[in-house]
Amino acid sequence: MNAPLIVDGVTTSIRLDGQRHDVVRDISFQVAARETLALVGESGCGKSMTALSIMGLLPAGIASVSAGKIIVDGIDMVAADETVRESVRGNRIGMIFQEPMTSLNPVLPIGFQVGEALMQHQGLSRSAARAKALDLLEHVRIPSAARRLDDYPHQFSGGMRQRVMIALALACGPKVLIADEPTTALDVTIQRQVLALLADLQAREGLAVLLITHNLGVVASVADRVMVMYGGDVVESADVKDFFARPTHPYSVALLAAMPRIDATEGPQPIPGQVPSLDAMPSGCRFQSRCHLRQDVCSTLPPLKPVAGNPGHQVRCWMRGDT
């Protein structure tokens, strides 16, 4: 059986002042059922562009997938027309966002908002959708859900709203869930509850989860595999254990060093500089402008190659990995 989410050689480009810039370069991965793949990187590294490419929601006329294939639950999202994509979104693939406070319509009761997805994709009647919405809200453990169906978003706390968003994303029983910084806006204690809920639902429904985050703590606790992105390139890809045991790419090492740790003797080390702007991207390895290992060879793009005989752990660096 094929993986629910297959991304194969995808390049996403945007047009700025008549010039083409690749914001995601030749990225390939698969997420199997019940698996969580974490996409990690700082702002502007192409994580969200990857998610938008998968959803088929790149801003029209500005950005587009210029190469590669994206298969969601058997449907090619790049080749499909808009009607097909609409039938996939919310139905075969769900997405939750960073901001639960603003992601619900303030003037519609939440029971209706959850039921609306069912009316749209499964053609349920209003009353059937309402009954199913109640099920879903109980599923995501909203206390006394029956009484809260007719409540409005402002009557819910941030954590509760994120639960509603999860119920909404999973309403039609999708095979794939994209979680874009799902816990960033929440308190730490609520973060834990939401992550536990997600893991629970994933196990029950057999979801393939693509987790987009810059929080390595979240990655360590819920992900199966990690993909680190920098400037639109995948620079390292590994099982979560291998990644934390042997981070290999200089950027991964720097990312981990930049994280405050309770067992560290020294404080966190920031990565000097910032991601270059699109028109200033160096050719070859895009991290070279901030890398302490830089050599002349780095002006040619290194391939993604396995580390020390472990084919599951790949790195894109001339200085690291098998040569």
Other beta carbons within 10 angstroms of residue 160's beta carbon come to 21
Among 28, 30, 66, 103, binds another protein (CB under 8 A): 103
Between residue 166 and residue 185, which ones bind another protein under the rule CB under 8 A? 168-169
Supply the minimum distance, in Å, between the C-beta of residue 110 and another protein.
12
Pick one of 95, 253, 275, 317: the residue that binds another protein (CB under 8 A): 95
Is residue 58 within the footprint of another protein (CB under 8 A)?
no
The distance of closest approach from Cβ of residue 15 to another protein in the complex, given in angstroms and rounded to an integer, is 16
Q: Is 76 one of the binding residues for another protein (CB under 8 A)? A: no
Among 108, 245, 264, 297, binds another protein (CB under 8 A): 108
Residue 240 DSSP SS3 = helix
- Under rule CB under 8 A, how many of the chain's residues touch another protein? 27
Q: Which of 40-48, 113-121, 187-195, 315-323 is the region at the interface with another protein (rule: CB under 8 A)?
A: 113-121
What are the residues facing 36 on neighbouring strands? 209
Tell me the two tokens of residue 257: 């060093």
Which of residues 106 and 270 has its CB atom nearest to another protein in the complex? 106
- Considering only 58, 77, 104, 238, the residue that binds another protein (CB under 8 A) is 104
Distances (CA, A) of 241 to 66, 203, 222, 314: 34, 20, 11, 14
**86 makes contact with another protein (CB under 8 A):** yes
Residue type, 237: S
State which residue, 180 or 242, has the beta carbon closest to another protein: 180
With respect to another protein, which residue has the nearer C-beta, 64 or 103? Answer: 103
- Which 121-150 positions form the footprint of another protein (CB under 8 A)? 121
Quickly list H helices, the chain.
47-55, 82-88, 110-122, 126-139, 145-148, 158-169, 188-205, 216-222, 240-245, 250-257
- DSSP 3-state of 16: strand
Q: Which stretch binds another protein (CB under 8 A): 27-35, 95-103, 195-203, 219-227?
A: 95-103
Closest CA to 253 of 273, 275, 233, 228: 228
Q: Which residue has the tokens 């562009």?
A: 49
Inter-CA distances, 5 with 141, 147, 210, 239, 245, Å: 27, 37, 9, 18, 27
Tokens of 268: 């966190």
Residues near another protein, by CB under 8 A: 55, 57, 85-91, 94-95, 97, 99, 102-108, 116-117, 120-121, 165, 168-169
